[in-house]
Amino acid sequence: MRVCIVGAGAIGGLIGARLAEAGRSTVCALARGATLAALQRLGWRLQIDGRLVTAPLRASDTAAELGVQDLLVIAVKSHALPSLAPSLAPLIGPGTLLLPAMNGVPWWFVDGPPLASVDPGGGIAKALPLPQVLGCVVHASAAVAEPGFVHHQRGQGLIVGEPRGGESGRVDAVAALLAESGFEVTRSADIRRDVWYKLWGNLTMNPVSAITGSSVDLVLADPELRDFCSAVMREAAEIGKRVGCPIDQTPEDRHAVTAKLGAFKTSMLQDAEAGRAIELDAIVGAVHELGARVGVPTPFTGALLGLTRLFGRVHGIYPR
């Protein structure tokens, strides 16, 4: 199988290096800047389980140089995809599968008009054909130690499923490829619900940690802040009911799960500290927009969105 990793950052690098090490596919990368230079010079580099994984690869910043692929793993930040998606056409043939391994609400999540917070103008949907998309939820954490060099932190879970539910041979094939590469893969018959459940957990911890500059354990230790997070989560749970993605936990149940992870920095906090753009729209903006679409009042989610948006603009990590 010919596989291309679009966005060889933390998660893209983790997936790419593990696929390359397994040797069941030819893995290339679409990258740019310092990451591209490092990949071209040193290949895949991944620190995992106390060992260093290395493998050569073909990397380019031009899709046409890489050609049509069998599988496209899209691992860019959500805010980068609207401008990037049209340029991916040379990678996509009629049989190419698209696997977005991204945070937040994906562009394929809703029926009807696209969410402006995720796919403004519908450009992603036009460029990336829905019939070729598979849903994916990542339950793994990694960090970029330096351009092209990824350190695995925790978790190796990937959930894969058809966007509109059910089972399929192509889900089985992609799941098998990922499992053979060392990931803990779950085939889901309802990937939308898996997407919403992960989002439900990230919805508050990511932006609150970024605003406050604190690790998650400190957020959960503050009673008033914890109650605020719970209020946002209750709004999202009600939205989930109305879009066919019910949540079977209470916010306190989820807080208890998160607390077991200890003092860790969320991906949004890491981005804020590094001066990188934050993924606010796909994580919080989409929930706020969906609430308005299905008639669920979201005053707490709106407050969280406004606070984080202003924080990002003041610090130059969210567009004005």
List, by residue number, the catalytic residues: 198
Is residue 288 helix, strand or coil?
A: helix
Is residue 83 helix, strand or coil?
A: helix
Residue spans of alpha helices (H) in the chain: 10-22, 33-42, 63-66, 81-84, 123-127, 169-180, 191-212, 216-221, 223-242, 251-259, 267-274, 280, 286-294, 299-314
Q: Can you state the angle between helices 223-242 and 286-294, rounded to 10 degrees? A: 50
DSSP 133: B
Q: Are 29 and 8 in contact (CB under 8 A)?
A: yes
C-alpha dihedral sign at 111, 113, 118, 119: positive
Q: Are 228 and 222 in contact (CB under 8 A)?
A: no
Closest listed residue to residue 79, CA positions, set 314, 315, 309:
309
| 147: phi then psi, degrees, rounded to nearest 5 | -50, 125
